Structure 1
Amino acid sequence: MSLKKDIKLLFKPYYFVNILLSLSYIVLKRTPGVCNYLFNVEECEFDGKETEILFFLLIVVMIRTRKAGSVTMINYLSSSFIYTKVANLILWFYANFIMGIVYGIIFILAGLILPEPTYSGPDNVIYFRGMQGLDEELERDKKCTWLVAFYTVWNPSCVHFAPVFAELSTKYDLDNLKFGKVDVGRYPDAGKKYHVNDSSMSKQLPTMILFQEGKETLRRPTVDSKSKLIKFIFNMENIIMAFDLNNLYQSCKDQLKGKKSSMQEKKTIKDKKNE
């Protein structure tokens, strides 16, 4: 996602309001006049406790966003909002119990009224209604290769992954190379069959599985020899490399050409016989 698109997204209510909530305490505490009235202080400076909380917040945000694999400005912001708002909540309660309650109410209302925007751009993705829909499609045409993403709508990593998967589907889609998605939060049976944990603490969301001839041949993230999950960052470059999409695309394209040539030869032979 380009910087220009990221900047446009910042003006959407979800991001705008959350940025305000994340910066509320710092801005108001450092604004002369406002801070003197709200906090009943002479100097608009952070005390030792406030500095400690803000420093701890900075460390947590840096560590958690890195672990989440956030690589764009929007991803960093989305990953950090929960931590910055919790830190602000603590700071407001530290300053004044009533203001802490007011901030907490606004915090909760913003979460209920303004959910994080989901991707709504172009894609060539087929959404399966559970395990049965996917299994039927895999059995229907085993010559078709499928790249399927298992996700949940509430997981931030899945939300950030959506535009990447959509772009891949528009770039690599062929008649025999298809892209699909299964919401394992809504259809847990699919998660159980394909061993994708859909719990709130799961590190398997999202999961991408490559199906060839109706069978799983590759997945990310995967596990090592000790059954420990190997971290995988779902950006465009990593996915293309891990699933060898350029070569897979060319191979599928060659198969289509071979199929068309074979059909053309049969048609030619049939025409000659009719003559």
Structure 2
Amino acid sequence: MNLRNRLQYLKRLCTAHFVSNAILCVLFLVLRTVRPLCTIVFPRTEPECSLEWRESNILLFLLCVVVIKNRKFPDVFQFTKILFSLSKVANFLLFFYSDIRLAILYSVLCLLVVLIFPEPAYKGPEDITYFKEEPFFEELENNPRTTWLIECYAAWSPSCQRFASIFAGLSLNYSHSHFKFGKLDVGTNEKLAQRLGISTSGTSLELPTVILFQNGKPVIRRPVKNNKGKVIKFQFTEANMIRDFDLNVIYEESKTKAQRKQEKKEKAEDNKENAEEKKEK
């Protein structure tokens, strides 16, 4: 990951959404161990201002689950999503064992944070063409030599929102005259979603879906379905995208195509000049 992408990641991590969720993740630990908060919130708990054996075990179990869930090294936003979700569950259990009223208050607080501070949409630089249905398929027919990497997304999907910055970064690093990046909004076009074989239900595992088009036809698609029609979950990380779609190879091939096209153009111009010189003689 280059410096520009790292700065963009850091900027997004400093938004109210991530800061508020980070506070929720450590809320029980802070209230339980920091004076004078611990004596106010947990006045009759022993030992005073320190974790009980059961509480320590829950936190240790949380740490083990986070490590197991992230053994495939997902990107930072997928990591934070898993961390936030598991930490909130652990915090709820810890508050519940101490006082059910605190657990209810914590649940309400989590709901308010979700409503007030939703995950921010990506608004950084990108080299992406946004298509509607017909213009996209017309582009494939009219320019089959151009390779397209298309993200089929829905604006309301959290997974698509998290993937936006990764796809934008890839477009900046790999976009070329013969290799372009585009987006199709299947969330507002059910007909287009059906044409591409993508489910847009609220529980769909096919958002986002990324399809590589070469010679006007789809050749690689993620995620895919198994023989039973079940979606095989795909981790949309930068490394996985580069590997599964052979982006380095396609980028080099597109540069070669552009170079050959330029050479043909120059050769045609030279032949034209030579022909004109012969006519003058």
Scaled by the length of structure 2, what TM-score is found?
Answer: 0.81
How far apart, in 2, do the equivalents of 1:218 and 1:106 lie? 43
Closer, same or farther: CA 211–262 of 1 in aligned 2, 3 Å: same
Tell me the residue number matched to 1:258: 260
AA matched with 2:181? F
How far apart, in 1, do the equivalents of 2:35 and 2:249 lie? 61
Tell me the residue number matched to 1:37: 40
1:12 matches 2:15: yes
Scaled by the length of structure 1, what TM-score is found?
Answer: 0.82
Superposition RMSD in Å: 3.0
Tell me the residue number matched to 1:79: 82
How far apart, in 2, do the equivalents of 1:21 and 1:99 lie? 13
Deviation (angstroms), 1:195: 1.9
Kept in 1, the 8 Å contact 2:92–2:107? The answer is yes
Tell me the alpha carbon deviations over residues 36-65 of structure 1, each in whole angstroms, 9 at most, x when there is no partner: 221222523444554554455445444445
How far apart, in 1, do the equivalents of 2:184 and 2:73 lie? 23
How far apart, in 1, do the equivalents of 2:50 and 2:86 lie? 22
24, 27, 31: which is aligned to 1:24? 27
5 Å-filtered alignment, 1:118-197, equals 118-129=121-132, 131-197=133-199
How far apart, in 2, do the equivalents of 1:46 and 1:153 lie? 42
Closer, same or farther: CA 232–105 of 1 in aligned 2, 3 Å: closer
Deviation (angstroms), 1:102: 3.0
Tell me the alpha carbon deviations over residues 201-221 of structure 1, each in whole angstroms, 9 at most, x when there is no partner: 333333221111211111223
SS in 1 for 2:180: strand
AA matched with 1:179? F
Closer, same or farther: CA 238–10 of 1 in aligned 2, 3 Å: closer
Closer, same or farther: CA 13–47 of 1 in aligned 2, 3 Å: same
Could you tell me the percent identity over the aligned residues?
Answer: 37
How far apart, in 2, do the equivalents of 1:185 and 1:57 lie? 35
Closer, same or farther: CA 133–107 of 1 in aligned 2, 3 Å: farther
How far apart, in 2, do the equivalents of 1:142 and 1:76 lie? 38
Tell me the alpha carbon deviations over residues 224-272 of structure 1, each in whole angstroms, 9 at most, x when there is no partner: 5565544433333332232222222222222223323333333444443
How far apart, in 2, do the equivalents of 1:238 and 1:181 lie? 19
Q: Which runs of 5+ in 2 are unaligned?
A: none
